[in-house]
């Protein structure tokens, strides 16, 4: 296959993905701006006009930054692949240290550092301009820098052994390396599920047992009723960074635990918190987590098979000026190329996720009081300044959760 054809196809794919993303964002901006002057009927009497307008303005500012971020991210991808920056990284590192394992680590590190540097201004903009302007940010510059330093340290400690292991497989297993690489990837993800709740999360947040005896009793009764075993109920000091509220289950096997943000505990009643957790339990009881893991297994296996085929083709690395001397370079190159062709699949995965959310809501309505869940959803909607209406096409491709109005309407019907 001619180099010019490969470059043209990849360039068109990057541009098409960017144009589609910008089109979706533009639709959403026009849609919510067009509904700014009045509260949608589904929220009439529940959300004040000033709350609704704050949510619209907040969403628009985030989308405008996201549009710039998309353009810059696509330009970086084009520069790496078509402009030869990735090939330059590979040649420079090869000239310095050869093509051994250290070279693979340095190449991966150079790429990750490049993306981190490019993304840093957007992270600062979101945190200290948008989140600050709308009253959500509680992160200090010192905490922001400390989080970056800890995140980098965790990435090096956990990521370097994985990169070395996948590089070893590439160099020693042969043509079926992608099967062993896939098995390593799955094992690594399971390992991360085990250690994140117990070792990684405490580096960033204080996790304390829930001290409200009444709330703890309600949750423990709910867990027993639903047949769910957990290694603990914890409150996380999320308020030191943000005013947003959330609750989630994390971990795997012996590290499985329930975490509530202190912000959500302050915002919701005990009955509403119980209903929110019942929704999360619904994902487990209805096998959503298992289904998602199985889907991830299949998709990742297909991905590794495609990458295995691609880097076995001499024209693939040659088209981008990358030599075959450093095996990891071909793998990283394929991982840079494929997202331009796979982003379109988000519509299906988000549709499936929205179906699961409705099912988990229905489960919660049986295990607790559906009215409490509806009330909690409304409070979280307002507290997080979520838009009260959304463009249907944008929602299809961008939202993993159904619109709050639809969820509340179903709960009221049930």
Q: Provide the 3-class DSSP secondary structure of residue 232.
A: coil
> Which one has a higher pLDDT value, 84 or 244?
84
What integer is the mean pLDDT of 330-336?
94
User: What is the rounded CA–CA span in Å between residue 197 and residue 218?
Assistant: 23
265: enclosing H helix or E strand? helix 262-267
pLDDT computed for residue 77 by the predictor:
96
**What tokens does 351 get?**
């549709």
CA 226 to chain centre: 28
User: What is the rounded CA–CA span in Å between residue 67 and residue 60?
Assistant: 10
pLDDT of 29 strictly over 60: yes
pLDDT computed for residue 239 by the predictor:
86
Tens digits of residue pLDDT in 111-131: 999 999 999 999 999 999 999
Percent of the chain whose predicted confidence (pLDDT) is above 90: 58
Asked which of 233-247, 262-276, 297-311, 321-335 is least confident by mean pLDDT, the reply is 233-247
Asked which of 161-170, 226-235, 360-369 is least confident by mean pLDDT, the reply is 226-235
Mean pLDDT value across the chain: 90
User: Across-strand partners of 260?
Assistant: 235, 247
pLDDT of 231 strictly over 70: no
Q: pTM here?
A: 0.89
Alpha carbons within 13 angstroms on the beta-carbon side of residue 10 total 26
pLDDT of 1 strictly over 60: no
Phi-psi region of 11 (alpha: psi -120 to 50; beta: other; left: phi over 0): alpha
pLDDT computed for residue 12 by the predictor:
95
**What tokens does 333 get?**
């190159």
Number of Cβ within a 10 Å radius of residue 302: 11
Do 378 and 334 touch, CB atoms closer than 8 A?
no
């Amino acid at each position: 296959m001619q180099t010019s054809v490969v470059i043209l196809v990849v360039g068109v794919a990057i541009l098409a993905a960017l144009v589609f993303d910008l089109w979706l964002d533009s639709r959403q901006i026009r849609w919510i701006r067009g509904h700014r002057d009045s509260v949608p009927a589904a929220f009439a009497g529940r959300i004040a006009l000033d709350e609704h307008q704050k949510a619209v303005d907040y969403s628009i500012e985030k989308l405008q930054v996201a549009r710039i971020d998309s353009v810059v991210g696509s330009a970086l991808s084009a520069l790496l692949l078509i402009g030869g920056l990735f090939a330059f990284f590979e040649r420079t590192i090869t000239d310095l240290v050869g093509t051994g394992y250290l070279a693979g680590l340095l190449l991966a590190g150079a790429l990750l550092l490049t993306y981190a540097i490019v993304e840093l201004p957007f992270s600062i903009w979101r945190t200290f301009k948008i989140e600050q302007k709308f009253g959500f940010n509680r992160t200090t510059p010192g905490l922001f820098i400390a989080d970056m330093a800890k995140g980098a340290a965790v990435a090096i400690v956990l990521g370097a052994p994985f990169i070395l292991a996948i590089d070893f497989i590439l160099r020693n297993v042969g043509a079926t390396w992608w099967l062993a690489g896939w098995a390593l990837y799955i094992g690594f993800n399971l390992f991360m599920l085990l250690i994140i709740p117990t070792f990684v999360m405490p580096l960033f947040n204080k996790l304390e047992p829930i001290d409200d005896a009444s709330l703890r009793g309600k949750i423990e009764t709910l867990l027993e009723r639903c047949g769910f075993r957990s290694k603990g109920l914890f409150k996380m000091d999320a308020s030191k960074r943000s005013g947003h509220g959330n609750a989630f289950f994390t971990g795997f096997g012996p590290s499985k635990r329930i975490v509530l943000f202190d912000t959500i505990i302050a915002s919701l009643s005990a009955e509403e918190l119980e209903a929110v957790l019942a929704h999360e339990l619904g994902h487990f009881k209805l096998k959503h987590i298992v289904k998602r893991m199985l889907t991830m297994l299949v998709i990742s296996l297909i991905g590794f098979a495609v990458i295995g085929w691609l880097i076995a083709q001499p024209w693939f690395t040659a088209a981008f000026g990358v030599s075959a001397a450093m095996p990891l370079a071909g793998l990283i190159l394929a991982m840079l190329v494929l997202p331009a062709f796979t982003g379109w699949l988000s519509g299906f995965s988000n549709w499936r996720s929205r179906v699961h959310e409705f099912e988990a809501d229905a489960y919660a309505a049986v295990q607790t009081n559906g009215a409490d869940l509806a009330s909690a959803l409304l409070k979280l909607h307002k507290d997080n300044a979520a838009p009260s209406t959304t463009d249907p096409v944008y929602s299809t491709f961008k939202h993993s959760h159904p619109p709050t109005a639809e969820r509340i309407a179903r709960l009221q019907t049930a």
